[in-house]
Chain A
Amino acid sequence: NAGVTQTPKFQVLKTGQSMTLQCAQDMNHEYMSWYRQDPGMGLRLIHYSVGAGITDQGEVPNGYNVSRSTTEDFPLRLLSAAPSQTSVYFCASSPSEDYGYTFGSGTRLTVV
Chain B
Amino acid sequence: RKEVEQDPGPFNVPEGATVAFNCTYSNSASQSFFWYRQDCRKEPKLLMSVYSSGNEDGRFTAQLNRASQYISLLIRDSKLSDSATYLCVVKANSGYSTLTFGKGTMLLVSP
Contacts and interface: CB of A to CB of B under 8 A. Distances in A.
A60 B97 CA distance: 11
Interface residues of A, number: 25
Given A90-B43, A100-B49, A103-B45, A42 B104 contact: yes
Interface of B is mostly: strand
Interface string A21-39: 0000000000101010000
A40 B103 contact: yes
Contact of A97 (B49, B96, B102): B96
A103 B44 contact: yes
B91 to A, nearest CB: 7
Nearest to B6: A42
Contacts of B4: 42
Contacts of A98: 32, 91
Nearest to B102: A42
Interface string A98-112: 101111111000000
A78 to B, nearest CB: 20
Contacts of B44: 43, 90, 101, 103
Contacts of A103: 43-45
Contacts of A101: 44, 46, 99
Interface of A: 31, 33, 35, 40-45, 48, 50, 56-59, 90, 97-98, 100-106
20 contacts: A35-B101, A42-B4, A42-B87, A42-B101, A42-B103, A42-B104, A43-B87, A43-B101, A44-B101, A59-B97, A90-B44, A97-B91, A97-B96, A100-B34, A100-B46, A100-B49, A101-B46, A101-B99, A104-B43, A105-B42
